[in-house]
Structure formats: C-alpha cells, structure tokens
Amino acid sequence: MTNLQIEDARLETAVVAAKRAGQRASSVKHTTNTDEKGNGTIVTEADREAESTIRDELKNSYEYPILGEEFGGDIENTDTYWVVDPIDGTRNFANKQPLYGTAIALVEDGEPTVGVFYMPELDNLFYAVDGKGAYRNQTKITVSEETDFSNAYYTISGIGRTKLHPHVSQLNRWIQQLGCALMSESWIASGWADVGVFGAFGPWDVAVGVILIREADGVVKTISSHSTDWEEIKDGRIVLGNEELVDSVLTQLPNEVEKIVNNATYEY
C-alpha cells in the first residue's frame, strides 16, 4: 500500500478498499456494459462491482452502516457511517477516459472525518483525516491563496445539465467542467483551481471533498444559507475554496444563479 503520511486505521482501511475497487474498475473499463438509471445518469457493471468490493472491505474492519451511490443504505438512525462513490466520473469512465476515481469517506458524529479519493489510471491518491491535514500521495496540499474572484484562474462548476455557465461567466471567464466531482474538489484542495460552484450532487460526491478542502485550509458553504454543516452541505449545492474567495463568490453570485443551482438536475 502507498506509504501514507497519516497514520490512522480508518484511513488505511479506506485506502485499501478504494485502491482495490479502483484497480478492478480500471482493469475492466474496456469491456464493461453501460445502463441508464431512472434519473438519466448512467451506471456500468464496473460501478456495481466496485461498490461491492468496497462494502466487503469495509465490513471486514468496521460495523458502521454504508451509504453507497449504487446500493444505497439506511443511515436514518445513525450519525456515523461510510459514504461510497465506487466510480465518480462514470461518463468519463464509460468514454475510456482516465479522469475518474473511487471515493470513500467516513462520517462520524454527523461530520466527515476521513476521506479518500483514488484515481487508478493516474495513480493519484488524495486523502485527509480530521485534524491531520490533506495530502496528494506524499505531498501536503492546501487551497489556493487567491482571494480576488476577478483574478481566479479557474472556476470549476459541477452543475450537470443546467445553464449555469453563462451566468458564472459574468463573474469570471475561466471555467472548466471536468465531469468528475471529486477530481474538481481534489484540484481545489490542491490549489490547482481557485474555487468551485457545485449543484445537484449527492452525499457520495461531496463527502470526501468536504474533509479534503477543510484539511487543506479551505471551506465549503451552501449557496442558499452559507452553512458549513454537513447535513446541509450533503445536498451538494455548494461553493468551495479558501474562505475569502468563497464568501466573495457567495456575495457576487446573481440571484438567477442560485435559482439554477437549487433546481439543478443530477448528472454524474
């Protein structure tokens, strides 16, 4: 296993599970079949196989409930559980691109405390533990120091099928849509992108990103209420980056942008 910069049994369990699932998905990428879900998104055989692999690994070490994108999970009566996205960036994966990965987070007492995002074909491992920092492989990462939105180099908007881009372009012309929520979040945590405006995601798309960005000295806030609480953030309508830039974006976003984000349709 990768020589982690953080010693933590929960993290090690998540890394092992993410790597096994990610490597398995990569090995079958060119042969897996694709189906469409009821919400218009796609799923592959590899998504389901990867989530089954992760569930087996996690259950061997912990008895916490598991909430996964493909098989769901009952977390109604608990505030401690695993959150799993077996393949984030499924459309990229189905199109034979390397821009996808496996995400596993642990929520404890109602907040994400451990997060892992593994990109098998790029061999990039992003991880964080509450109070112990965030890393990409062996390198500690921090969010961008840019605080002026007009100078922000990239705005990454994971908004799916909405028309957000023209509105955000009023504020900044540098926009990328990566097709993989966790890759966008990892870029922001690494300082490779300055700020993100996201909408219509599920908890499996943002749980790892929340702990990564917090431990990389950044913040995640909801667009409507500017909340930093996981219970509101997990709906995925959020702005993320360093606090000054996030607050600047939240004050400058036009009203129509908030309406679009709050009515966005799920895509990834």
> In terms of C-beta density within 10 A (0-12 exposed, 13-18 middle, 19 or more buried), how is residue 258 classed?
middle
Domain shared by 86 and 167, yes or no: no
Domain shared by 127 and 39, yes or no: yes
User: pTM for this one?
Assistant: 0.89
Do the domain assignments include residue 209?
A: yes
CATH of the domain at 40: 3.30.540.10
Pick the range with the lowest mean pLDDT from 42-51, 52-61, 214-223: 42-51
Those residues with Cβ within 8 angstroms of residue 51's Cβ, 6 or more apart along the chain or in another chain: 21, 68, 69, 70, 71, 84, 86
Domain shared by 244 and 164, yes or no: yes
Provide the pLDDT for residue 235: 86
Helices (H), the chain: 9-27, 45-61, 90-94, 164-169, 181-190, 203-215, 230-233, 243-252, 255-262
Provide the pLDDT for residue 268: 44
Mean pLDDT for the stretch of residues 70-99 = 92
Mean pLDDT for the stretch of residues 34-57 = 83
CB 188 within 8 A of CB 241: yes
pLDDT over 70, % of the chain:
83
Domain shared by 76 and 55, yes or no: yes
> In terms of C-beta density within 10 A (0-12 exposed, 13-18 middle, 19 or more buried), how is residue 51 classed?
buried
Domain shared by 75 and 154, yes or no: no
Joined tokens for residue 230? 């996981």
Domain shared by 234 and 135, yes or no: no
Task: Tell me the pLDDT tens digit for each residue of 138-147.
Answer: 999 999 999 9
Domain shared by 103 and 53, yes or no: yes
Per-residue confidence at 214, pLDDT binned at 50, 70, 90?
very high
Instruction: Say whether 200 sits in a helix, a strand or coil.
Output: coil
Mean pLDDT for the stretch of residues 10-35 = 90
Do the domain assignments include residue 192?
A: yes
Do the domain assignments include residue 3?
A: no
Domain shared by 84 and 101, yes or no: yes
Do the domain assignments include residue 2?
A: no
Instruction: Say whether 112 sits in a helix, a strand or coil.
Output: strand
Domain shared by 130 and 223, yes or no: no
Pick the range with the lowest mean pLDDT from 11-25, 165-179, 208-222: 165-179
Domain region containing 171: 149-262
Per-residue confidence at 151, pLDDT binned at 50, 70, 90?
confident
